Amino acid sequence: MTTRRCPRCQTTYAAPARFCVKDGSPLVEIAPESSETTTARRRALSLPPAHTPEELDHYGTLTGKILDHRYQVERRLGEGGMSYVYRASEVDTGRAVAVKILLPRLSRDPAAVERLRREATIATRFSHANVCPILRLGETADRMLYLVMPYLEGEPLSEHETRRGPYPLAEGIPLLVQVCHGLQHAHELQVIHRDLKPENVMLVPDPGVTEPGGFRAVVMDFGLAKERRAGPEVAKLTATGIVLGTPEFMSPEQIRGKPLDGRSDVYALGILAFELFTGQLPFTGKSAQDTMIARLKGSPLSLRELRGDLPAKLETVILRTLTLDPAGRYQSMAELAFAFESVLSTGVFTRLFRR
């Protein structure tokens, strides 16, 4: 598969993406890395050792096999820093599911495994159209950990943004409100996402959605991120193979390793909203470390300087989500949803919806 990279922020994308969703730069194609280059790059970034080739072969080639006597694995959907994701069907019922195979480094941390079990148990209680529940956390005889979720036929918001660019207000606001509703449901069950970003929001075509676009926004991957004290090594973003949060979307208190509550997700959703409408992040820097420091010391870019057609009311809402002190933000996702909805009640948006 052709890989392309943004020459400014170094974010990589798969073809056919042509522009960076963070800064709008045209992407350039990059040659596949050799194993030696990959190893050197990982060392330079101070990342933990990768899993062994034998583990990758085992975890990455499950297509056609039956997992744990329960799931017929059909095809691989994707992979990330801590998992492979497969489409599968339940052997007993034939129901389509998504199975996330967690890579071995996660199972080597007993505390992380216990925490994952606890949060997965809570996530089985999710019952909301805008949240993807965890159906099961399983472990095979050879200690392979896996999560089972409903299979959603859709596309991540990140890919949608990459293909079409910044959203019009009439489509973007309803999606944000849906995300708010899903996160409010999770927060009421004491589950904080901690890694909210466009890659973790699935857009599912739904004839029951009457808003422009016709997509149902479903928040994915609850409980898989973990906060950590950043300290002097703020650029080191992973430990023991667990995703700790995405630097561009982490709240100031998450960067500092402070205790988190739902207001941290409010902050992350503010960054997501800013990017949704402008194609850029509100805080910039030459590296992940720079962008995090900017959120601790700097001010966000002006929304309306990037897109003059956006109303001042929207900028006010997003600025409040990005307040450094959690006490200054919206105190719940329900409150933030109401604020986003109030943007649509202005005259300019009433005219947009009448067209």
For 253-278, the pLDDT digits (tens) are 988 888 899 999 999 999 999 999 99
DSSP per residue, 231-285? GGGTT--EETTEE---GGG--HHHHTT----HHHHHHHHHHHHHHHHHSS-SS--
By mean pLDDT, which of 52-61, 152-161, 187-196 is the weakest? Answer: 52-61
Q: What percent of the chain has pLDDT over 70?
A: 72
pLDDT of 213 strictly over 80: no
Name the token pair of 14: 């798969």
- Residue 332 phi/psi, 5-degree rounding, is -155, 160
Residue span(s) of the chain under CATH 3.30.200.20 come to: 59-150
By mean pLDDT, which of 93-97, 120-124, 194-198, 300-304 is the weakest? Answer: 120-124
CATH number for the domain formed by residue range(s) 59-150: 3.30.200.20
Per-residue confidence (pLDDT) for residue 27, from 0 to 100: 59
pLDDT of 225 strictly over 50: no
Contacts of 202 by beta carbon, 8 Å cutoff, 6+ apart: 132, 152, 154, 155, 156, 157, 217, 218, 219, 220
Per-residue confidence (pLDDT) for residue 174, from 0 to 100: 94
Residue span(s) of the chain under CATH 1.10.510.10 come to: 155-354
- The mean per-residue pLDDT over the stretch 324-331 comes to 96
Which are the catalytic amino acids? Answer: 195
pLDDT of 92 strictly over 80: yes
Q: Are strands 3-5 and 96-102 parallel, antiparallel or unpaired?
A: unpaired
Per-residue confidence (pLDDT) for residue 42, from 0 to 100: 37
The CA distances from residue 20 to 17, 236, 279, 287, in Å, are 8, 24, 8, 15
pLDDT of 205 strictly over 50: yes
Cα(321)–Cα(337) distance, rounded to whole angstroms? 11
Name the token pair of 119: 């949060």
Cα(190)–Cα(303) distance, rounded to whole angstroms? 32
- CATH number assigned to the domain with residue range 155-354, chosen from the 4 options 1.10.510.10, 3.40.50.10800, 1.10.3720.10, 1.10.490.10: 1.10.510.10
Cα(318)–Cα(272) distance, rounded to whole angstroms? 10
pLDDT tens digit string along 268-316?
999 999 999 999 999 887 777 777 788 888 789 999 999 999 999 999 9
Model-level pTM? 0.74
DSSP one-letter code for 25: P
Per-residue confidence (pLDDT) for residue 102, from 0 to 100: 80
